[in-house]
Structure 1
């Protein structure tokens, strides 16, 4: 990370263009505790007393402020010059992108409002072509993040002024990269671009959208290997302007030799590079108007009975819970190298999966998972209550993220809700059960290629995989049967352990795969192994801390041995967790990502069991 431009890597790695500009770095900043900024027109003139390093939130050390106060209103300002002039050849549109701003924001450029956005974890953009000056520009962002509003999709962020239990530091304001993209008159829209690749036939179907399309434009797809095109000519051209052009939606089909197909797998994460081009069919050389570089994979994922099949082989999930906080950056990783290291450490420990928990992943995280070969789940940060606003917040963000991330081969499943958060009366409320079903079907509509887990942990209504959270000793899970339960079973044994029903309404076991998606969580505080457990300073599940991590490993191994006896119907597990999170000290690593044991020793256990 450089001092001037932190997180300087390309922020949208799956869809890249050459013409872009990073606006991260030092911005002016102020708290607006008296809520007077709009009334006093701070977007026109204000004396900002602070300086903040974007994209790190003011609560983080890397922001340069590290202020933990609870305040709902904050302001940012940045002066910048355009990297390319609006009069430059082939530049007709200048797009301002925000990776994520928590939670609601107004965006002003040169004292004019260009737009606003609601949603703490989703990307958004504005066409600022008509607002920019050829020389200096002033960008102002006014953020509202209601610290105590339980309707916001805040995930594990605390609503208290101290940290306790499973609640961690608040995240307010800009927390992903701010950047500018320079585009031609006609351009491809990345978040509406989707590949379907059939490994049995070699067929590739690209569905994409464009901002507009001239009757002489040509849309072309190039599949690349070692920089050379390997597919037959594949393009879209229709002078009659069929109806789908009015919807700006275009489809191209092509293929490669099926004998050349190399599937994406955990051991061999094969990726195919591609260029999507808009060409000028009216020019003699069919000159390129827009070029979007991307990648995709041949990867077959399906459920057959109680099995999860990856490329027609059974996939047994060995996972860690991953909550995504960094000591100095909170939700924002300090560097791209730090993100890559998270994936490498997971593989080094012998896991094939991370269960991303109550946080939407940085696109760079998914990029490295794609590239290095690690499967993940896409899980939404949830609100704490059920009402019309919380429902709208979840639906809007969920649709944006599924559309953003559905091209990543590393994503194996979608999880809109965890442990009935924001749906706290599923047992008695038919309305809440209908809403949960609607989330399942909405997700299937957006991406029919992946399993959907309606409500991770318990109280399932309609799900492709049954997931159960059991924070108990190995001896206690012996209550789970060795052989596969009968169709129609309601899993009363897990209800006895959890005091929460595995199913609600008319739902029951229908032969789906079953995964224990939270277990263990045994605490070991490495800096002080004799520390007494406390929910505010250091704790683990079971109400105790262990003096030696070898004690934790023995319990871990014993639990896996019990799971191995049930491989007939339990198809994976997820231990809590990847690393310590503040006062929650049950990680395989410390909060600073320091191993608590020899990782080769842990990998050997995972390789052998189950």
Structure 2
């Protein structure tokens, strides 16, 4: 007979969810989606706070479709003019409260998974909280703000300065129009809005530790607060309905660490070719949640990333997560599944989610399909104390929110020195970049972290290079062991005349990755339009150039992997393998024949991360 937690894990089967739940690694049975039509207003004169817009529906003279930003066509607004302040009025009905499982004695949580950039929230006329950061989720307990009778009104004011270069914004343009590699801006709500009802003491976060050397799983269970009296905690693990392990404990702490024996679990280790997931359930007092994990341990050798001490060669694609009708918001939960499946069909074993935090529903499909992910955040584009404060705060939130996904194998807080443009000459910038890497490791010591991506490494666990040379012969000569070793000398110039290593504190006995290459512009039917790092005119030239470049950089025994730029066309960028509607520009099997080739990774003694 199964114990209660193990039976719950088997019944919920969280690893088999349909991908619509906004927080896949911590699932409750009851929740309600608040996306859909909502009241909307722009506040170009900045009078909404003075005139107390949160108190009346009269000011909301337009309707927007959430969670799409007002600049997008999917929102029904499609207004690309600059509006620094926008307001939303979202109605919460009795049916939605019931779907969320709300009842007397329970707490109602409001989740805003992305509001760009600073938000204030009122519920039934009372302020419920505020949040800074457009790429990190916020959860507010709105129980005490609910009026006795509904329907209830959630009002959100979003402030997003379109010209503030010190704001973490990624590839959103700060100019009036998109150009080059900079895309349309995105204001206000752009990710799911939803509610759930929970007991007064409830699980807030779960992290799973799965060492390779032991048949054990360690659960790190974080509650919303310290319980006033000892709280019973029960954990159950199953695989395809079969019991794998369980544990019971009493806790008086907000964070509890529980070790669970899992005999026979060595055959269930998670790898791209074998993405087995283990179902889990946690019962903490009155709270019941489902979760899942992949059993794997990330490490490094002298020249390769490892999973469970086995070197693995990365074949990633740059994923901009941008759609023509909805911009940075996924058109639907199904679109995220199709995105992950497309990446796999093209032959890749991973993706680098570029210049934005990852939608956790996309990470779920990466977990399930075995895709190796580099987690990132959108950059600020100036260096200042305020920009560093913002990045430090929001990056911490982003890492904590996504830390439970086994597909993430590396963290990337800075890309191409964006916001840190003078690292080789400015000691303050170099120290700040190194501090971001140290901060990342302090939050999550189980994965490699970079101090920068592409060049100017000062304290990175991997050395990554960006090189868009379109000449296969030069690339073949360049990515031989001797040439790469020269670049790793402090003061030596690498591709695009950038220093790869800056200073003496950066280790050089770490894996080297060609983390961006390609970027070939090919836009059938759009001659003379679009942007890329190089251009071809025909499909056969496109496939041949891709094959020649990939072959050139994978022939030598020096790189631990590569990341191809990029999956899709994005706005004016036409250097995708697919167009903006995800239609491949050549037969899928031709791409898979190139990107599906698995070079042998360089092998050295493993050093645990």
Matched, 1:54 2:69: no
Structure 1 counterpart of 2:209, from 196, 221, 226: 196
1:609 to 1:486, Cα distance in 2 relative to 1, 3 A: closer
Q: Deviations over 1:113-134 (max 9, x none)?
A: 1111000110101111111124
Greater share of residues in helix: 2
Contact 1:415 1:452 in 2 (8 A): yes
Structure 1 position 259, deviation (Å) = 5.0
Alignment check: 8 A CA contact 2:318 2:567 kept:
yes
The equivalent residue for 1:152 is 167
TM-score norm. by structure 1 comes to: 0.90
Q: Contact (CA 8 Å) 2:490, 2:502: kept in 1 or not?
A: no
Aligned to 2:15: none
**Worse-matched range after superposition: 251-260 or 152-161:** 251-260
Q: Which runs of 5+ in 1 are unaligned?
A: 1-6, 280-288
Alignment correspondent of 2:196: 181
Distance 2:486 2:524 in 1: 45
Measured after TM superposition, the shift of residue 558 of structure 1 is 1.5
Compute the displacement of 1:159 (Å): 1.3
Determine helix, strand or coil for the equivalent of 2:594: helix
Measure how far apart 1:560 and its partner are. 2.0
Give the counterpart of 1:594 among 577, 583, 589: 583
CA–CA separation in structure 2 for the residues paired with 1:57 and 1:327: 12
Counterpart-to-counterpart distance in 1, 2:374 and 2:126 = 40
Go from structure 1 to structure 2 and tell me whether the alpha carbon gap of 1:59 and 1:136 turns closer, same or farther (over 3 Å shift).
same
User: 1:474 is matched with which residue: 466, 472, 480?
Assistant: 472
5+ residue gaps, structure 2:
1-17, 600-609
SS in 1 for 2:435: helix
Work out the CA distance in 1 between the residues paired with 2:102 and 2:375. Answer: 40
Residue of structure 2 equivalent to 1:131: 145
Deviation at 1:200, TM superposition (A): 2.9
Partners of 1:352 and 1:161 lie apart in 2 by 37
> Partners of 1:141 and 1:257 in 2: how far apart?
49
Question: SS of the residue aligned with 1:62?
Answer: helix
Q: Which moved more, 1:438-447 or 1:548-557?
A: 548-557
**CA 1:298–1:88 in 2, change beyond 3 Å: closer, same or farther?**
closer
Per-residue deviation, 1:8: 9.8
Counterpart of 2:306 (choices 304, 309, 329) is 309
C-alpha distance in structure 2 between counterparts of 1:267 and 1:216, whole Å: 43
Deviation at 1:478, TM superposition (A): 4.2
Distance of 1:20 and 1:350 partners within structure 2: 36
User: Is 1:17 matched up with 2:28?
Assistant: yes
**Structure 1 residues 60 and 479: CA distance shift in structure 2, 3 A:** same
In 2, distance between residues paired with 1:90 and 1:601? Answer: 59
- Give me the whole-angstrom Cα distance separating, in 1, the residues matched to 2:400 and 2:186: 24
Task: Give the Å deviation of 1:494.
Answer: 7.6
Q: Tell me what 2:219 maps to.
A: 206
Instruction: State the shift of 1:428 in Å.
Output: 0.8
Secondary structure of 1:139's counterpart equals strand
1:146-181 CA-to-partner distances (Å, cap 9, x unmatched) read 000001100000112222100111111011111111
Aligned to 2:522: 524
Contact 1:415/1:456 (<8 A) preserved: yes
Q: Does 1:603 align with 2:592?
A: yes
Is 1:565 aligned with 2:565? no
SS in 2 for 1:417: coil
Alignment counterpart, residue 539 of structure 1, candidates 531, 541, 544: 531
Residues in 1 aligned to 2:502 and 2:178: alpha-carbon distance in whole angstroms: 32
CA separation of 1:84 and 1:380: change in aligned 2, threshold 3 A: closer
Cα deviation digits, residues 534-565 of structure 1 (max 9, x gap): xxx412113xx322022122122222222123
Higher RCO by CA contacts (8 Å cutoff, separation 6 or greater): 2
The 5-angstrom pairing of residues 9-158 of structure 1 reads: 9-45=20-56, 46-82=58-94, 83-84=96-97, 91-133=105-147, 134-158=149-173
Query: In the TM superposition, what is the alpha-carbon distance from 1:489 to its structure 2 partner?
Result: 5.6
Correspondence list, 1:45-444, <5 A: 45=56, 46-82=58-94, 83-84=96-97, 91-133=105-147, 134-190=149-205, 193-210=206-223, 211-232=225-246, 234-237=247-250, 241=252, 245=253, 248-258=254-264, 261-279=267-285, 289-444=286-441
Per the alignment, in what secondary structure is the counterpart of residue 77 of structure 2?
coil
* Aligned 8 A contact 1:488 1:508 in 2: no
Once the two structures are superposed, residues 223-255 of structure 1 have per-residue CA deviations (whole angstroms, 9 ceiling, x without a partner) of 1233354314x12226xx5xxx2xx12121111
Aligned to 1:286: none
Of 587-596 and 473-482, deviating more is: 473-482
Would the alpha carbon gap of residues 8 and 513 (structure 1) be closer, same or farther in structure 2, given more than 3 Å must change? closer
RMSD: 2.1
Selected match of 1:495 from 493, 509, 512: 493
Given the superposition, is the C-alpha separation of residues 87 and 512 from structure 1 closer, same or farther in structure 2, using an over 3 Å criterion? closer
